[in-house]
Amino acid sequence: MTFRIGQGTDIHRLVEGRKLILGGVEIPWEKGLLGHSDADVVCHALSNALLGAIGEGDIGQHFPDSDPRYKGATSTTLLQVVMALVKARGYRVGNADLTILAEKPKLAPYKEEMRRNLAAVLEVEPTAVNIKATTGEKMGFVGREEGMMAEAVVLLEKQ
Ligand code: MG
């Protein structure tokens, strides 16, 4: 068995007039994340972790902001494109562990749905995807509710 590990981080600015979408779940909130796509910071961090594990750079290279094809793109779809690359290299996902940094809203009610969404795209059991959330303790850009950040670590396996 061959193993590869990957890490991903993403940050997006919080603004009024945008939907808040995290891990493919639309969360009712007064602000949303700003970006060229749906700005799903969770899917972006996970996509970067997968690309890192197969040595394929980052999502900025694969889905440039300048490309109109990705305007308003659903990030679970981008994650599917990345997963196709992973599978083309002969790898499958062992597990993924994610942390979301957000001051508000409370994410606990949505974590299970995010986990199921991501597990479906990664083609693993939901127990192989773990989602954690933390606040910024009112400090920094997270704490001031200026933005959200997500971090992901993923393990890939090949027979
Ligand atoms: Mg992003």
pLDDT for 70 equals 80
Give the model confidence (pLDDT) of 49-82 as tens digits.
999 999 999 999 998 888 888 887 899 999 999 9
- pLDDT computed for residue 64 by the predictor: 87
The interaxial angle of helices 41-53 and 75-88, nearest 10 deg, is: 10
Convert the pLDDT of each residue in 88-135 to its tens digit: 999 999 999 999 999 999 999 999 999 999 999 999 999 999 999 999
* 145-159 pLDDT tens trace: 999 999 999 999 998
pLDDT at 9 over 90: yes
pLDDT of residue 33: 97
* Residue 100 near residue 41, CB atoms below 8 Å: yes
Structure confidence at residue 72 (pLDDT):
79
Cα-to-centroid distance, 159 and ligand 1 (Å): 32
User: How is 36-99 classified by DSSP, letter by letter?
Assistant: SS---HHHHHHHHHHHHHTT---HHHHS-TT-GGGTT--HHHHHHHHHHHHHHTT-EEEEEEEE
C-alpha of residue 40 to centroid of ligand 1, in Å? 7
Residue 18 contacts by C-beta under 8 Å, 6 or more apart in sequence?
31, 32, 33, 34, 39
Distance 41 CA to ligand 1 centre (A): 5
pLDDT confidence of residue 67: 83
How far, in Å, from the CA of 88 to the mean position of ligand 1? 24
pLDDT of residue 45: 98
Residue 128 Cα to ligand 1 midpoint, Å, equals 23
Looking at every residue in the chain, the average pLDDT score rounds to 96
pLDDT of residue 131: 98
Quick one: pLDDT at residue 13? 98
